[in-house]
Structure 1
Amino acid sequence: MSKVLAICTSKHKGTLKNEIEEATFIEEFGIEGDAHAGKWHRQVSLLAFEKIDEFRNKGGDVDFGAFGENLVIDEIELNKLPVGQRLTVGEVLLEVTQIGKECHDKCAIYYQVGECIMPKNGIFTRVLRGGKVRVGDECNLINMEKKVFSL
């Protein structure tokens, strides 16, 4: 079972995010109080715990939020999900809008961490249904298969 290991927000784009225990997600906007919230396609960013752990195993000393991610999720290969995939996180429904991104030109994250793993491993989503998310909440993929019934 996949879970939320961390929720992270920041007031400014391109900076490390700070951990919080719960957040309010606003439909078609993002996380209340986060710099990336807005009427666009990259409202909430997710990063797989396993990718952070790989970085740590190479000697990287990073906390959750160090790569600018909003949610740290375990047990799902997030970067393998297709655009359009939907997932529930706590009370919230998210839709994948982008896999990876162009990295900022040596933003604060690069200078503090030395590398950014979001360009290849991060995913971006928009909020289809708002609500609360708490650390420890379940994260589930929505089966997107179309069912055809014959009479």
Structure 2
Amino acid sequence: MKIISTNIGERREVEWKGKTITTGIFKKEVNQPIFLDVETVKGDAICNREYHGGIDQAVYGYSLKHYDYWKGLHPDQEWEYGMFGENLTIDDLEETEIHVGDTYKVGEVIIEVTKPRQPCEKLAMKFDTRKIVQQFTRSTMSGIYFKVLQTGHVQAGDEFEQIKSCPDNPTIAEVYKEKTQ
């Protein structure tokens, strides 16, 4: 696995379906290293700490290989890295093969797999359709939250080196399906 893009979002207020929504889901690719801290990515807006950020959700990664599937369902979107609100767009992040507790060294950091992302209204707002939440829930392509065990910088091109494997733990896809049924 390799980082294709590092992405940061600013706090933004968006009018959608008659409501004002405060969000940091609109991530943009940055062309310099980003700092992964214990509870967040430095400089990245977290607008709802109940569901984003914190020790077990410090960094969100999403697989570039999933983008083609979603492009087929939503061809009118303006596709760019960070589309799903991820901090790290990773070339081949496979939720059906990665287990809770798996640990990786990437760049200067050590990160541990914690849980899948649950889709929310902000994803619907970003895609301008609530249909994406249902589609996302029915897939196993949830993306992965990571805990930061050793802080530091990462950048595009950094490779993931697995330093701990937890094959007896459930995969991210198994945890996701259990939560969404």
Q: What TM-score does the superposition give when structure 1 sets the normalisation length?
A: 0.78
RMSD: 2.8
Structure 2: distance between partners of 1:47 and 1:108: 18
Larger helix share, 1 or 2 = 2
Corresponding residue of 1:55: 70
Structure 2: distance between partners of 1:107 and 1:114: 7
Corresponding residue of 1:30: 40
| 8 Å CA contact retained: 1:15, 1:108 | no
Q: Which has the higher contact order (CA 8 A, sep 6+)?
A: 1
| 8 Å CA contact retained: 2:63, 2:92 | yes
Query: Is 2:81 the partner of 1:64?
Result: yes
Q: How many residues align?
A: 144
Q: What TM-score does the superposition give when structure 2 sets the normalisation length?
A: 0.67
1:86-101 maps to which residues of 2 (within 5 A)? 86-101=103-118
Residue deviations 1:3-44 (CA, integer Å, cap 9, x gap): 110111112335220111220112x22210112475332111
- Percent identity of paired positions between Structure 1 and Structure 2: 27
Corresponding residue of 1:125: 146
Query: Is 2:29 the partner of 1:19?
Result: yes
Corresponding residue of 1:134: 155
Stretches of structure 2 that go unaligned for 5 or more consecutive residues are 12-22, 47-51, 168-181
- Which residue of 31, 35, 54 corresponds with 1:39? 54
